Amino acid sequence: MTSLMLRTFLLSATVALAACESSPQSADISGPSAATPVPPSVSSSIGAFASSGHAGLDAWRDEFAVRARNAGHQIQTIRSILEGIEPMSVFLERSSEAVDQVEFSKPIWEYVDDTVSQRRLTNGRELLAADSSLFGALETTYGVQREYLVAIWGMETSYGGYIGDFDAPSALASMAAEGRRRSFAERELLALMTILENGDAYRHELIAGWAGAMGQTQFMPTTYVAYAVDWTGDGTKDVWRARADALASAGNYLSASGWRPGEPSLVEVVLPQNFDYALANGVDRPTQFWQQIGIVPANRLNLDPAGVGESELWLPAGATGPAFLLYPNFDVIKTYNRADSYALSVSLIAEGVSGRGAPTGAWPRGIDRLSISEIEQLQEALNRLGYNAGPADGIAGRGTRGALQRFQIDRGMMADGFPTRTALAAVLAAS
């Protein structure tokens, strides 16, 4: 990554307050299929493209243009999308892995600090109050509580304040040419062609974040094709400028992803003394079970306000941090972005704009956390011991933490699964 691109990316992330560019997850849509397949010789009819200045990008574009025509897209559309694309160094000059892992590389409490700010909560409350009729109509139509819609909006673009300033075709073409996510990027580019051919946007309007997510609620092109909504009724699905279209599209997406109306995504809880942390193992248990062992809500009247019946106990910072019961809607939020930290921040914004405020449990801010290389060591050692922590990628996700927890249980240790230096030392000693 060039220093200019790095500065641009960091500025984008700062302005957007860690809004994730990969969300919501791309939809599985099919491209046009009615057209008769065109032989590879069609490249001559598509015509030559002016050089982008990057040989690899140019070579990929020439080949992809033929496949796009064979998929049934119009030559005019193909040229509109692919002519004038510019190489993005974030993909083509260096591994994009470092960018993709930004939200995973910091402690979850720092991520929450960045995203769940008092300003964001205040702005969310004000927007809900100022446009209550719109949010009420969206809630009625899609079943998604208004506080979650505004939370998604706030997380993704700071309520439309920063929607990105990258050219979506250039971003996705650069990702495709880099190679590791080629099929994903090419699918998204074909969806951009569908958007133009459907008359939903003009070429110059395809503005996105660095990874191709578009509009006030950051839709990938395939997700746009599948779920974008013309709420305003003006004949366009304008997720860039029309907040109603963007919010309705998000509501439609969450509803289709399995949102359960009226249910929370999480409830903060207080654990009893001498608690068995091995119970935070990703297993859903009945509400009655949690009550019987002495778990109580931190800022609600009961553990299960919507009568869901079962929930998972989650300790995002181990035994020394806040504790939450997770309900099915937490996983629905993760269809927007797979990171637990993202779903937690959305949930806490929704809680905050509803008046319940920040978690009462203190984050372990003084902990000497593991570096990426040390987490890789932990993962490798756990794998050698047969605990299947998954790839040694330096990301202490649920797979790694589950493996560590199983190790701790077998060794009679406090089994919270949180990767500390003490835990690392114990695993290395055993391996």
Which of 227, 252, 269 corresponds to the end of one domain? 227
326-346 pLDDT tens trace? 999 999 999 999 999 999 999
Confidence grade of residue 41 (pLDDT, cut at 50, 70, 90):
low
pLDDT averaged over every residue in the chain: 89
What CATH number should be reported for the domain holding residue 70? 1.10.8.350
Confidence grade of residue 104 (pLDDT, cut at 50, 70, 90):
low
189-232 pLDDT tens trace? 999 999 999 999 999 999 999 999 999 999 999 999 999 999 99
Confidence grade of residue 358 (pLDDT, cut at 50, 70, 90):
confident
Asked if residue 408 belongs to a domain, the reply is yes
Domain assignment of residue 46, given as a range? 3-99+164-227
**243 in helix, strand or coil?**
helix
Contacts of 307 (CB under 8 A, 6+ apart): none
Would the pLDDT of 347 be above 60? yes
Residue ranges with strand state E in 164-212 = 166-167, 207-208
Contacts of 8 (CB under 8 A, 6+ apart): none
Q: What is the mean pLDDT of residues 169-179?
A: 96
DSSP code per residue over 102-165:
GGGSS-HHHHHHHHS-HHHHHHHHHHHHHTHHHHHHHHHHH---HHHHHHHHHHHHTTTT----
Which of 181, 201, 227 corresponds to the end of one domain? 227
CA 428, CA 276: separation in Å to the nearest integer? Answer: 24
Structure-token match 């015509």, residue found:
47
Would the pLDDT of 4 be above 50? no
pLDDT of residue 40: 53
Asked if residue 22 belongs to a domain, the reply is yes
pLDDT of residue 14: 38
244-303 pLDDT tens trace? 999 999 999 999 999 999 999 999 999 999 999 999 999 999 999 999 999 999 999 999
Asked if residue 354 belongs to a domain, the reply is no
108-161 pLDDT tens trace? 999 999 999 999 999 999 999 999 999 999 999 999 999 999 999 999 999 999
Domain count, the chain: 2
How many angstroms from the chain centroid is the CA of residue 56?
29
Asked if residue 209 belongs to a domain, the reply is yes
Identify which of 31, 37, 26 has the alpha carbon closest to the alpha carbon of residue 194.
31
CA 287, CA 312: separation in Å to the nearest integer? Answer: 10
Question: Taken in order 131, 252, 195, 93, is the CA torsion positive or negative?
Answer: positive
Contact between 34 and 71 (Cβ < 8 Å):
no
Asked if residue 293 belongs to a domain, the reply is no
CA 67, CA 79: separation in Å to the nearest integer? Answer: 13
pLDDT of residue 20: 41
What CATH number should be reported for the domain holding residue 407? 1.10.101
User: Cis omega (within 30 of 0) on the bond before 316?
Assistant: no
Which of 227, 247, 282 corresponds to the end of one domain? 227
53-95 pLDDT tens trace? 999 999 999 999 999 999 999 999 999 999 999 999 888 875 4
pLDDT of residue 16: 39
Bigger pLDDT: 10 vs 87: 87
Bigger pLDDT: 30 vs 410: 410
Confidence grade of residue 44 (pLDDT, cut at 50, 70, 90):
low
Asked if residue 170 belongs to a domain, the reply is yes
Read off φ and ψ for residue 178, nearest 5 degrees.
Answer: -60, -40
CA 7, CA 411: separation in Å to the nearest integer? Answer: 46
pLDDT of residue 39: 55
Confidence grade of residue 42 (pLDDT, cut at 50, 70, 90):
low
Beta pairing partners, 219: 214
368-424 pLDDT tens trace? 789 999 999 999 999 999 999 999 999 898 999 999 999 999 999 999 999 999 999
Confidence grade of residue 25 (pLDDT, cut at 50, 70, 90):
confident
**Apex 208 CA angle, 205 and 211, nearest 5:** 145
Asked if residue 400 belongs to a domain, the reply is yes
Within 13 A of 107's CA, how many CA atoms are on the CB side? 17
Instruction: Give the tokens for residue 72.
Output: 């049934």
How much of the chain, in percent, has pLDDT values that exceed 70? 88
Asked if residue 232 belongs to a domain, the reply is no
Contact between 323 and 311 (Cβ < 8 Å):
no
Bigger pLDDT: 5 vs 59: 59
Would the pLDDT of 98 be above 80? no
DSSP letter assigned to residue 281: S
